Chain A
Amino acid sequence: MLTLGIESSGKTASAALAEDGVLLSEYTLNIGLTHSQTLLPLVAEIFSRTGKKVSDLNLVAVSAGPGSFTGLRIGAATGKGIALSRDIPMACVSTLEGLWYNVSVFEGYVHPIMDARRSQVYTQAFCGGRAISDPEARSIDELAEEWNGQDDRPHLLLGDAVPVYREFLDRCLRIPHSYAPASSLLQRASSIALLGESMYYEGKTVPGDAFSLNYVRKPQAEREKEAKGLKEFDIVHDHSAL
């Protein structure tokens, strides 16, 4: 059972190969190049280094959001192309669950927080080895308040929003909390591959056509349309304004 994991939902581009629960190899780059240029060469390299072939693959597991819209799509389209070529299934692995998996042995609350801009983070709460809330985009203030109201089990935070809000959180949080070390702070394809493998055995994989991303947020145009009707473009044709 050979699984390719792909993670490009944030600043890191990462690819991993896992075989029967064993991580064979993982390549992660966090050097600011665009995923479009780096991701597939990483995948190619990982096959060549491990001596595995695409034809040996049983599953392509891809980080399925939330995260950077474009980054997610590059990862998804890359995974889809590989899966399509061999007609193998895909696993839609939640990006937040992937982050949680980096530190899944932690007893207590785990909060992956990903910078979603506009003072919000993508987050989901995990405790006792399972998710206890749904993926969502929330303001960091709201979250801090919510966590302060919980019992005194320790909270572990990770994700790319940690460096952004760490100072703020240290100031506001009155509950025991800590942060994941740099080696497990960010998204990793190994977590995606290994979670994907579990999904395979649980019968939760999908054909590539059915692979879908969970953006959490709607496109801006759709939100604006819902909020205030059709947005005007660059030509005014409102009769009353003429």
Chain B
Amino acid sequence: MKDINILAIETSCDETAAAVVRNGRQILSNVIYSQISIHTEYGGVVPEIASRKHLEKIDGVIRKAMDDAGMAFQDLDAVAVTRGPGLVGALLVGVAEAKALAFALEKPLLGIHHIEGHVAANYLEHADLEPPFACLTVSGGHTHLSIVKDYGEFEIVGRSRDDAAGEAFDKVARAVGLGYPGGPKIDAAAREGKPDAIHFPRGEVDGHPLDFTFSGLKSAVLNYINKSRMTGEEINVPDLCASFQESVAESLVSRAISLCRDRGFRRLAMAGGVAANTHIRQRMMEACGKEGIDFFCPRPLLCTDNAAMIGSAAYYSFIRGQRDGLSLNASPGLMLGSRDIDASS
């Protein structure tokens, strides 16, 4: 069978990224321009600044992805782009550029779901992983427990009722003065701390054992900080970070394991930016080891936003026959599994 080479573009948040992926599994290039340092001084991603930077950097990033892959545009079989969810202004830059490229090159165009991309990062890392499997997707905007029934086909069985796990990381990091981005900063600080130093609550949603809630945990951490400051007690930041992380890890691990037990899955994958967290990866691996579950997780660079994962997801959409038209729009609020519903929104 002929190789399928897809150029993928991702601009949903604050990384301008492009990659060339072969047959959904082989990364030929993976270029990421991170804007983190620009947004750090604002304490979070500023959408207008992100959009401006994407436009400045996108050509160079695409060109480098093609050069790294040693390919000419004509060698491509399709152009894929993240169409949502994400920041609308940021998404639009990638979508407009990808559409114009596909049109000018007379190549098929595919709009891809960002979270589907995160899940597909596992296909890039683990050549032998194929659906069905259980999957936990944890990022700055999403906390989903799902069953990946087939490529691009999901059954969502649990989700966060309030903050996404990554949001909780950002808020806690800001509250203890670590700044943005919260995930890596808490991860680093927690390495010197004890996970059982402070007991923070594990959020439960009544009647929905597979759903998540992180707002109670967030409040507990903020209360702890406020109380310590009022009584003049010094906060041990590493202990606080480690204990906070442990609470998040416990919530994630317990639900993922109970899904596997309940539905008899022997394979569990984790995806999304929060999956790059050292402690969460460790806890998940240990828990899976105990249960005899095979645990899959991409390397950290493939957990955070990148275009290679979009190229992988796009391959499976491509062979299923998905083709998008030139009026493809960005869908900032796209829900997982609603790929074909809101093509005109």
Binds B, one of A23-31, A95-103, A171-179, A205-213: A205-213
Chain B facing A: main interface SS: helix
Complex Cα distance, B43 from A78, in Å, reads: 31
Q: Is A41 an interface residue (CB 8 A)?
A: yes
Q: Is B100 an interface residue (CB 8 A)?
A: yes
A85 and B73 form a contact (CB under 8 A): yes
Binds A, one of B171-179, B184-192, B248-256, B313-321: B171-179
Residue of A nearest to B106 (CB): A54
Contact residue among A43, A209, A234 (Cβ-Cβ distance under 8 Å from B63): A209
B174 and A81 form a contact (CB under 8 A): no
B326 and A233 form a contact (CB under 8 A): no
Which A residues lie within 8 Å of B43 (CB)? Answer: 230, 233
Q: How large is the interface on B (under 10, 10 to 19, 20 to 34, 35 or more residues)?
A: 35 or more
Q: Is A125 an interface residue (CB 8 A)?
A: no
Whole-angstrom distance between the Cβ of A45 and the nearest chain B Cβ: 10
Q: How large is the interface on A (under 10, 10 to 19, 20 to 34, 35 or more residues)?
A: 35 or more
Which A residues lie within 8 Å of B62 (CB)? Answer: 84
Complex Cα distance, B96 from A39, in Å, reads: 9
A208 and B59 form a contact (CB under 8 A): yes
Complex Cα distance, B229 from A36, in Å, reads: 50
A81 and B97 form a contact (CB under 8 A): yes
Contact residue among A209, A215, A222, A237 (Cβ-Cβ distance under 8 Å from B177): A237
Q: Is A82 an interface residue (CB 8 A)?
A: yes
Centre residue among A74, A79, A233 by max chain B CB count within 10 A = A74
Given contacts A73-B89, A235-B175, whether A242 and B229 have CB atoms under 8 Å apart is: yes
Q: Is A86 an interface residue (CB 8 A)?
A: yes
Given contacts A41-B326, A44-B326, A209-B63, whether A80 and B103 have CB atoms under 8 Å apart is: no
Q: Is A203 an interface residue (CB 8 A)?
A: no
Whole-angstrom distance between the Cβ of B72 and the nearest chain A Cβ: 10
Q: Is B327 an interface residue (CB 8 A)?
A: yes
Contact residue among A36, A215, A237 (Cβ-Cβ distance under 8 Å from B174): A237
Q: Which B211-234 residues have C-beta < 8 A from chain A?
A: 222, 225-226, 229-230
Which B residues lie within 8 Å of A74 (CB)? Answer: 92, 96
B49 and A82 form a contact (CB under 8 A): no
Binds A, one of B50-58, B138-146, B258-266, B291-299: B50-58
Identify 22 residue pairs between A and B in the complex whose beta-carbon atoms are under 8 Å apart, listed by A's number: A34-B329, A36-B92, A36-B329, A40-B100, A40-B326, A44-B103, A54-B104, A69-B51, A73-B51, A73-B52, A73-B89, A73-B93, A77-B95, A78-B97, A211-B59, A215-B52, A221-B42, A221-B46, A230-B41, A235-B171, A235-B175, A237-B175
Tell me the A residues contacting B by CB distance below 8 Å. 34, 36-41, 43-44, 54, 69-70, 73-74, 76-82, 84-86, 208-209, 211-213, 215, 219-222, 225, 230-231, 233-235, 237, 239, 242
